[in-house]
Amino acid sequence: MQMRKLGNLEVSALGLGCMGMSSAYGPPADTAQMVALIRRAHDLGVTHFDTAEAYGPFTNETLLGEALAPIRDKVVIATKFGFNIDPDTGARGPGTNSLPAHIRRVAEDALKRLKTDRIDLFYQHRVDPAVPIEDVAGTVKDLIAEGKVLHFGLSEAGVHTIRRAHAVQPITAVQSEYSLFWRGPEAELLPVLDELNIGFVPFSPLGAGFLTGKIEDINLIQNKLGLEPAGDTPTAHSTTIILANEPSGQWIKRSPYENPQMLANLDLSRAASASGIAVEQIEHVLLRANRPLDAPERIPGQELIDALQANYPAVVRLVGEEWFRAAMNRRGGTQRAQGAQ
């Protein structure tokens, strides 16, 4: 496994996001199996593990603490604060909460659940409009001075917020969504991160599963979300209504297939499958093509050991494949993909 730098924090070139093991994608997975998965990831060379108080809440941090306890000094643990979660009951309140006292309480509780004496990377999960980012950065700066936190990060923050926070406490990493499904960071975010020497940690690199080509029966999604069935006609995809998180933070109903590049992305994944190449490997090429060689990439959230192991081989040969280049041309992505060579 190659290594990358998040600012001055060295991590494996790919990391493991653990959210789906405890929340968000159905019932929590079997604890023993997930402990085995996390340890297997480390055996494969992964040193970067990502969690948050919101995942569960709390239970994902507990899981990660158990799994990594025997190898704590060999790994980097990232967790997050910032949602309005009661630290005693786990009840989720509206909006966000990055008041300094709340940040401190989240840090202290996370240290206990993670069975550690320091948090390697502490992210603000979402920007809190009610708390100046300078106050947030100052609080984390104090935690760093106390040795309870080693590095500061932001998630889904805009470039102006990043600059203001960075002026108070240098930011090590910014985490945002980035994939074939959503390439928004390329316009403003990535250039600013390069300028400030801040690492980039992309999440949902498979578009929450829609880029795998495996979601063919939309009714399965409807059932999972408790919505009305879409029907079994081939045209159901274009009219299916699901929930999607908008940049504004508001939840609306829409279809992922409204994305104008969705069909091209599915064609790409199907072509990859026909050639015996996993779409996860194509995503790895995309992320490498858009970042300098010393920048990090990661594929979070794999729940099966076999799937995890399949994601790590180098596949830069893809850019030489005619079908891959044709598919990237349809998406307007060939120029960046060539950078992976």
Domain boundaries, the chain: 3-206+296-303
pLDDT at 240 over 90: no
Mean pLDDT across the chain: 75
Please state, in angstroms and rounded to a whole number, the distance separating the CA atoms of residues 303 and 132. Answer: 37
Does CATH place domain 3-206+296-303 in 3.20.20.100? yes
pTM to 2 decimal places: 0.78
183, 278 Cβ separation under 8 angstroms: no
Alpha carbon of 205 to those of 76, 167, 211, 227, 319: distances in Å?
A: 20, 29, 9, 25, 18
Per-residue pLDDT tens over the stretch 250-296: 434 445 555 555 556 666 666 666 666 665 555 555 555 555 433 44
Does the annotation count 55 as an active-site position? yes
**pLDDT score at 230:** 42
Other CB atoms within 10 Å distance of the CB of residue 88: 8
Helix (H, G, I), strand (E, B) or coil at 184: helix
Out of 25, 55, 178, 257, the active site residue is: 55
pLDDT at position 74? 98
Tell me what pLDDT residue 1 has. Answer: 73
In Å, the largest CA–CA distance within the chain is 60
